[in-house]
Amino acid sequence: MQLRTLGSSGLRVSPLCLGTMTFGTPVDEADAIRLVHGAIDLGINFVDTANVYEGYARYLGSAGGVAEEIVGKALRDRRDKVVLATKVGAPVGPGPQDRGLSAVHILRELDASLRRLQTDVIDLYIIHWPDKYVPPETTLEAIEIAVRQGKIRHFGVSNHSAAQLCELLWIADRQGGPRVVSSQIPFSLLRREFQNDLPFCEKHGIGVTPYQSLQGGLLTGKYRRGQPPPDGSRVAEKPDWVWELDDPLFDRLEGIESLAEQLGVPVAPYCLSWTLSQPAMTSLVVGAKRIEQIQEAVTATEITIPAEHRVLLDALCPPPWQQPDPVRGA
C-alpha cells in the first residue's frame, strides 16, 4: 500500500488505519494483538485508539483504558512501525473533571494514555468531541504544552464541523500554537452529512480519517433481508451499536451490492474504495474482528469506482444539499 501524507503533519500513513474500539470485547486480548501484528504485516502503519475504548463493555462514563492497554502490549516491540493515534475528551468517570477539553483533564488523561500505551510520545493526539463549556483557546494551550513537553507530535480532532476546524486554525494562527492536522468524522456511503466539509479540509491541510466507513459492518453484504443476522456479527452481538435493519436500508444495501457485483468485487472494499476517493480522504479507520476482514479491506486500494457508478451511488445514497453556485454552476 502506498503511504499518504496526513494533512500538514508530514506523517506518512497507510490508506487504511486499524480501529481498536472493539478491543477487549468481542475481540479478546490475544486476538487483538494478533490483529495488530497481522495488520502491520499487511502494510498498515496507522493505529487508532482512544482513552475510553473498552469494546462492548463501554457505557457512558465508564473508565475505559482497556484498548490502550492491549495496543500498548501489541506494540511493545514494534512501536516504531506505526503512527499511533489516541483520543481524549469523552467521559471516563462521573465528575466534572472526568471529561471534556479542560487543560486539567487533557494533561491528566494524556499521562494515563502514555502509560497504558507504553510509549513516550503519541504521534497524533485527537480531541474526541467538541466541548461547549471550554474555550478552544484553553484546549489549544493544553495541546501546546503537551507538544512542548514532547508527549505528543501532532493533534487532530474528531466529530468537528468545518466551522469548528476553522476556529481552531484561526486561534492557532493568533496564538502561534499547533495547527490541527486531521479530522476524524463519521463518513460512509450511508452517512454523508460531513461531505460538504471535505473541500475545506483539502484546502487547509487537514487530512480526513473517517470512521465507520463500513457503517459498523452493514456495508459488507453479510446482512440479508428477511434473514436473522449471522452468528458472531455485530447486529447479533451488540445491536445498539448498529442501525436498525429495515426495508429502506435494505433497498440501499441491495443497490450498492448489485453495483459491486457488476464490477466483480466484494461489497466491503467497493464501499471503502468509494470513501477513499472523496476529497481530503487520507486513511480510513476500519474495525475488524478477524484478520480476513482486514485482508479484504486492504484490497480497496486496488479498486476504481467508475464514473457511472458514482452517479448511481449518488442516487441511492444522496449527498447532503449544497448551496447552488449561480455564477459558475454546480
Ligand X SMILES: NC(=O)c1ccc[n+]([C@@H]2O[C@H](COP(=O)([O-])OP(=O)(O)OC[C@H]3O[C@@H](n4cnc5c(N)ncnc54)[C@H](OP(=O)(O)O)[C@@H]3O)[C@@H](O)[C@H]2O)c1
Of these residues, 53, 125, 211, 270, which one is catalytic?
A: 53
The total number of residues shown for the chain amounts to 330
Nearest to 300 by CA among 181, 188, 158, 184: 188
CB of 123 to ligand X, least distance (A): 15
The crossing angle, in degrees rounded to 10, of helices 162-175 and 136-148 is 60
Name which of 91 and 216 has its Cβ closer to ligand X. 216
Is residue 208 within 8 Å of residue 198, measured between CB atoms?
Answer: yes
CB of 48 to ligand X, least distance (A): 4
State yes or no: is 270 an active-site residue: no
Name which of 139 and 220 has its Cβ closer to ligand X. 220
Is residue 51 within 8 Å of residue 90, measured between CB atoms?
Answer: yes
Phi/psi of residue 13, each to 5°? -125, 155
Name which of 148 and 225 has its Cβ closer to ligand X. 225
Name which of 119 and 212 has its Cβ closer to ligand X. 212
Cell of 258: 448489485
* Euclidean distance between CA atoms 66 and 68, whole angstroms: 6
The C-alpha angle with vertex 86 and arms to 291 and 19, in degrees rounded to 5, equals: 20
CB of 301 to ligand X, least distance (A): 15
Is residue 162 within 8 Å of residue 193, measured between CB atoms?
Answer: no
Residues in touch with ligand X (CB under 6 A): 19-22, 48, 128, 158-159, 184, 211-217, 220, 222, 233-234, 268, 285-289, 293, 296
Name which of 178 and 217 has its Cβ closer to ligand X. 217
CB of 3 to ligand X, least distance (A): 19
* Euclidean distance between CA atoms 251 and 256, whole angstroms: 9
CB of 264 to ligand X, least distance (A): 16
Active site residues: 53
